[in-house]
Each structure stands twice: as structure tokens, then as C-alpha cells.
Structure 1
Amino acid sequence: MTGKEILHKMKEKVGLSSCAPDTGKGKSKIDKHITHGYHLVKGKSHHDMEDYVVAQFKQVGDHELGLFAIFDGHLSHDVPDYLSSHLFENILKEPDFWNETEHAIRKAYRLTDTNILDKAVELGKGGSTAVTAILIDCQKLVVANVGDSRAVICKNGVAKQLSVDHEPSKERKNIENRGGFVSNFPGDVPRVDGQLAVARAFGDKSLKEHLSSEPDVSSELIDDDVEFIILASDGIWKVLSNQEAVDCIKNVKDARSAAKHLNEEALARNSTDDISCIVVRFH
């Protein structure tokens, strides 16, 4: 078995994946009714799969943390691979994580981006979007994101977006203030310097002067109204609205089957991008 194969087997055991198609599931130890499932499908492009997923419950001292993330790479799979191994590690190292969780996450995002830029020779010129969700003791959910991967919560059948889509058209002024520009050419969507279709991302050293890696962070208390959350790359959100995604899986009780069903629905709607999805069910 090669070193890469051994690494892949290790990642599978702890809920990390970049292989397509790939799937997995797990559940909380303190509340067996809380389960998660994930599913990935490679898109129709000729490059390797560039999505990475983290989905696991982890005991940290007296606390249980659900750690969930979608990393959607561009120009390289090395940056999202690095993120899958290091971002949560950096977040949990922050001394104020338990008292000022949102502040700690912002600091860890900035630190991780600096580390990626410092390793640009090794990791290459590419970058990655990210959406992360940390479930603390099955009671509080903290979501952060850069880019257009998205987190959506379902409460009483109604979809609510917890992340922010960082689109160049919405952040044009900030990009121009940094010396960059937003153009629809080449292509058919607004891009930073005519290259990147998101205004915030990890990495992308050649564009970093004009890009932000500052996350939007939000918190949500988990009460009896919460049914499930969806984390997914833009391969789903390009073809499904938040409510359509929620309606698509509201009757699918198994979290892994729900994630797979969402991916299949996106494919049926002609999504051509890499697709990765995590569903966490609370009932």
C-alpha cells in the first residue's frame, strides 16, 4: 500500500474524504438521535476532484464537538486538502475558543490563510472556499464561511441560510479599494480581476491583494424546531434554492441517504461542478 493510500484510509476512519464518489455517516455519542451523513460526486471537468469534506464527532475534554466542513478548491486540490487537516486544529488551539467562539474562529481563519500563503511554493497557486459548522455539546451551532459554499438550517420545514455568499458583484467596492476590479469577461459571471468567481477565499496568492479571507460567522441555538442542517458546495446551490434543497430531503430520515439524494437531484438538474454535501439530522 502506498503512502497516499494509507493516508486515505486514515482519513476515511476519522470522517475526512476527497475521493469521488464517496460517502460516510456517523452519530453523536451524547445524543444518539443526532446523526450525520456526507456524499461527494466528481463533476464533469477534466481535473481531479477538488472538494474535501470533514464530518466527525470529537470528544474534547468534557465536551463533544461535531466538526463539519466543505472545502471547495479551485486550480488545485492541495489547498482544500491542507484545510481539511489544519483549519479545525487551528480553531481548537485558540485559547478563547470556549468563551469567545466566534472571535476564535475568525482568528483561526486568518492564521490558516497566512499559513497557506507561506506555503504557496508547496501548495501551489490555487485556493479554496470553505464553510464550517461546529456543533457544541449538541446545543449550539457556530457556522463560518468564505466563498460560496453554503450552510442552510431547516426549522419547522422552513429553510434559513446561516452563511453568506461572497459574490464579487456584492463586494465590488472593497475589491476596487484594494486595487482590483470585477469583470464579467471572460465568462458569464462576475469575477475578481476577471479570474475568480468568489470575493473571499483561502489561498490564491496571486489575487490575495484583492481578495479577503475574513469569514462571516453566525451562531444558532439548537432547539426542538431544528430538523436538520445542510452544508454543501456551490454545485448544489447553482441549481437548487435553499427551500428546494430542504424540501428535497425533508422526508429522508437517514442523513447519508439525504446527502446522496441532494447530490442526485443536483445532477438531475444538470449541475456540472464537483458536488459535496453534508446533512446533520437532529430528530
Structure 2
Amino acid sequence: MLSWLGKMASACWRPVRRYARMSKDDDGGGEDDTLLWCRDLEKHSCGEVSFAVVQANEVIEDHSQVETGRDSTFVGVYDGHGGPDASRFICDHLFLHLIRLAQQNGAISEDILRSAFSATEDGFLSLVRRSCGIKPLIASIGSCCLVGIIWKGTLYVANLGDSRAVIGYERRSNKIVAEQLTRDHNASMEEVRQELRSLHPDDSHIVVMKNGVWRIKGIIQVSRSIGDAYLKRPEFSLDPSFPRFHLPEPLRRPVLTAEPSLYSRTLQPNDKFLIFASDGLWEHMTNQQAVEIVYNNPRAGIARRLIKTALSEAARKREMRYDDLKKIEKGVRRFFHDDITVVVIFIDHKLLEKKISVPELSIRGFVDAVGPSNFNILQGINTNAKSVT
């Protein structure tokens, strides 16, 4: 039976395998992982980018994109939960909202990013409102949302949830150092639990330890997201017939928020690269381990290498080899690891001062959809950096 399922999965994934089989692996050998997609190396406005995604769920819940322009680069990592609807919606709408707002305001800024997140949240909640009559569980679907923009030498990062952006920078000793640019909005963090308790002093069940894991209302770990409408507005409360999402008492005010954490900085000569990744990567390696892998290995395929290192660690924890893990079909793989998305952005500072010609591409992770990017219409807009928040 398992042999038949394996053959069936192999046949279904042949179109993806065509893209996943890039250069021969030098870090594991053996047959390629048919659930692993990558673009080993592409150019962007101030360097190169490596991009990889591996699927674990029956339907992939990680959606992602890289947009390249003449003097700008956009990265989006959207880690869905409960289904792919929210992460796919973000991938289809957030960047377009950003472009529209930047044109209207003549700038890229933290405020523009915040407004793009808000417009995306409003749009998805409108979709929930229209759909919940025929698909009530859409009210329980949500997504983390991590965005990075390099715009004329300035980096902007916005984040909801527990995906993470990490920068690798060199010290004078030529050692690479990891700096986490985002804050994990996850109830496993003491500061997040304290924040929730201070916002809900009259709710003794705002965070609950369940099966050894801290969860908000005993249900969800992330405290900020796009979607999860039933935890934000009473009109989206789910019927008790869905016990997994049943709240012990009516929702009096939102317990989750779509307000992103924001960060900006002017890139410095010792800033070497950025890693944007969903939490599936960080479950299996530290920030410092990740930057050392990037720093000490060739650029081409480095995002794929990070994912394979994480998968090897996930396999080791279950006392098996990665060669055995990668034979397990989607859906069942979720018992071993999460969907994982990794984007590595290399920063070549000499290019920041030059006007170089790079392909203006829009790349969607995993589905391998490539087309022209709308970033070219932003040429001429001035930088309008805000202070770090």
C-alpha cells in the first residue's frame, strides 16, 4: 500500500520535480526531495537572492514571493494556518496594496507598510464575511505575514506572527554575527504572554498552557496575524459544532491583532545578507547557526541548503535519516516538520551606488510562477524613512 502511494505521489509531483532538480546536491546526495522547490540564485537590485520552499502539509500553507525592480527588492513570507486561504490572499494582494499606497504618497515608509497590512487584513475579513455562509471554517483560517523591502539602500521590515528576519553582519574580526530584526509574536514568549495579560486583565484564560504549549484562549500560539476572524470580531464566532475553535465565553474584544511590528535601517557596509524564513526553519536551528551556514557556503542553492539542514535535524530528532524522511508523502510529512520557506538576500554594497539593470521579476514560491514585477512603476519615488519602532 505504501509503495503504491509513493508511486502515486511521485507521478503527481513530476511537474514540480522539473523545477526542483537544479544542480546536483553537494550536501546530502541521493535522489531529490520531490516536495522541495527552489530557485538557486537570481539577481536583485543590490545583489543576489536564493529562494526555497518545502511542503509538509497535504495542501501547502506557506505562500511567498520575491519582487525585483531596478532599485528595489520586496520579499514576502506568508505562513498560513488552518488552511491556505489567508496566506494565498496575502500573496495576491499585499504587494499590490503597497504599490498603490506608495504611488499615492510618493514614498516607501513604515507608515505605508502599516497601511498595506491594514488594507490586506480588511480585504481578507471582507472575503470571510462573503464566504462564511457556505464555508464557515474560513473564519478560523489565518496567516503570519513577514515582509521586507530594500528601497534605495534602506531596509524596511514588517512582521505579524513568528516568521523571522535575521541579518548577518561582519565584525572586524571577520566573524559573522546574527541579529534578529523581528519580534516573535508567539505565546511561548514570556513577553508576549505579559502583553496579552496586560491587554486583557479581566480574562484569566487569555493564555492557557495546553499539552505543554502556551496558547491564546487555549487555541492558537501566534498573537498577531492576518485573518483568524473568529478571534477578532464577534460576528465571526464559530458554531459550537466546531469544538476545536469553540471559545468558552463570547468574544468581548479582539484577542489577536493585525498590527505589525516595524523596523527600518540604512544598510551598512558590514551588513552582508538577510534571511527571511517561516518558523519551520527556526524550529530546527538558531539564528547564529543559520547565518554561519550562509556565510561559509556558496551562494547558489544556499536557501535549499538551509532547508535541507533543518530537515536533517528534524529527521535526527525522530531517529531517522533525511534520505528516509524525504520519501514520506505530503500530509504525513507534517508529523515530522512544517512547511518551510527560506529567502536569502545577499547585499553587494557596490551595487547600491550603481544603477544596474536587473530583471524586473515577480517570483511566487513553490508554484514557480514567474512574471514581470510592478516594482518598475515606482521608479522616481523618493525614500521617506521613518524612525525605528
TM-score (norm 1): 0.83
Structure 2 CA distance for aligned equivalents of residues 226 and 178 of structure 1: 45
- Matching of residue 212 in structure 1 with residue 277 in structure 2: no
Assess, with a 3 A threshold, how the Cα gap between structure 1 residues 240 and 274 changes in structure 2: closer, same or farther: same
Could you tell me which of 121, 125, 135 is aligned with 1:117? 125
Could you tell me which of 184, 196, 205 is aligned with 2:209? 184
Q: Residues 161-180 of structure 1: CA distance to partner in whole angstroms, max 9, x if unpaired?
A: 11110122413225525956
Structure 1 CA distance for aligned equivalents of residues 99 and 201 of structure 2: 33
Q: Residues 211-232 of structure 1: CA distance to partner in whole angstroms, max 9, x if unpaired?
A: 0110011012222211110000
Q: Kindly indicate whether the alpha-carbon contact (under 8 Å) linking 2:108 and 2:151 is maintained by their aligned counterparts in 1.
A: no
Match of 2:38 in 1: 23
Q: Cα distance, 1:277 vs. partner?
A: 0.3
Q: Cα distance, 1:49 vs. partner?
A: 1.0
Could you tell me which of 306, 314, 339 is aligned with 1:262? 306
Assess, with a 3 A threshold, how the Cα gap between structure 1 residues 198 and 42 changes in structure 2: closer, same or farther: same
Q: Which amino acid aligns with 1:117?
A: L
Q: Cα distance, 1:94 vs. partner?
A: 1.5
Match of 1:279 in 2: 344
Assess, with a 3 A threshold, how the Cα gap between structure 1 residues 175 and 233 changes in structure 2: closer, same or farther: farther
Aligned residues: 256
Structure 2 CA distance for aligned equivalents of residues 183 and 140 of structure 1: 40
Q: Residues 132-151 of structure 1: CA distance to partner in whole angstroms, max 9, x if unpaired?
A: 000113x1110110000000
Assess, with a 3 A threshold, how the Cα gap between structure 1 residues 238 and 175 changes in structure 2: closer, same or farther: farther
After superposition, where does 1:157-168 map in structure 2 within 5 Å? 157-168=176-187
Structure 1 CA distance for aligned equivalents of residues 108 and 36 of structure 2: 37
Task: Please report the RMSD computed on the Cα atoms of aligned residues, expressed in angstroms.
Answer: 2.4
Q: Which amino acid aligns with 1:115?
A: G
TM-score (norm 2): 0.61
Q: Cα distance, 1:188 vs. partner?
A: 2.5
- Greater C-alpha Rg: 2
Structure 1 CA distance for aligned equivalents of residues 201 and 255 of structure 2: 8
| SS of residue paired to 2:79 | strand
Q: Cα distance, 1:183 vs. partner?
A: 1.1
Match of 1:152 in 2: 166
Q: Kindly indicate whether the alpha-carbon contact (under 8 Å) linking 1:175 and 1:181 is maintained by their aligned counterparts in 2.
A: no
Structure 2 CA distance for aligned equivalents of residues 261 and 177 of structure 1: 45
Q: Cα distance, 1:203 vs. partner?
A: 0.2
Structure 2 CA distance for aligned equivalents of residues 252 and 142 of structure 1: 26
Percent sequence identity over aligned pairs: 28
Q: Residues 187-243 of structure 1: CA distance to partner in whole angstroms, max 9, x if unpaired?
A: 332111111110000000111221011001101222221111000000111121111
* Consecutive unaligned residues in structure 1, runs of 5 or more: 1-7, 13-18
Could you tell me which of 77, 91, 96 is aligned with 2:98? 91
- Matching of residue 55 in structure 1 with residue 66 in structure 2: yes
Q: Kindly indicate whether the alpha-carbon contact (under 8 Å) linking 2:165 and 2:181 is maintained by their aligned counterparts in 1.
A: yes
- Pick 1 or 2: higher relative contact order, CA cutoff 8 A, min separation 6: 2
* Consecutive unaligned residues in structure 2, runs of 5 or more: 1-14, 20-33, 171-175, 233-253, 315-335, 349-389
Structure 1 consecutive aligned stretches of length 4 or more whose deviation exceeds 6 Å: none
| SS of residue paired to 2:122 | helix
Q: Cα distance, 1:253 vs. partner?
A: 3.0
